[in-house]
């Protein structure tokens, strides 16, 4: 069900990394990111904070998540 909701709500479901579902979806509902926009640096800091708090992500998964969030949920001016 979480996967389906992620795919429905994501802006680019064909590019949604499974790592976002695996790492972020372990604690967060997919809609949590929909109303959030950030700079690449902001997403990097947020992802690093989640990893510090216990999210399980390899360095490669971390990069994939940051790339996805920065590309699909950029800061709006």
CATH classification code of 14-72? 1.10.760.10
* Local structure of 74: helix, strand or coil: strand
> Are 38 and 46 a contacting pair, CB within 8 Å?
yes
- Show Cβ contacts of residue 68 under 8 Å, excluding neighbours closer than 6 positions: 15, 16, 17, 20
- The domain spans of the chain are 14-72
State pLDDT tens for residues 24-72.
888 988 777 777 899 999 999 999 999 999 999 999 999 999 999 999 8
Q: Residue 75 above 70 pLDDT?
A: yes
pLDDT at 43: 96
């Amino acid at each position: 069900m979480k996967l389906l909701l992620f795919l429905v709500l994501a802006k680019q479901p064909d590019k949604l990394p499974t790592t976002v579902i695996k790492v972020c979806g372990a604690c967060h509902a997919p809609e949590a990111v929909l109303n959030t926009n950030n700079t690449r640096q902001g997403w990097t800091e947020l992802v690093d904070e989640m990893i510090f708090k216990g999210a399980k992500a390899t360095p490669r998964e971390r990069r994939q998540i940051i790339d996805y969030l920065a590309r699909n949920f950029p800061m709006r001016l």
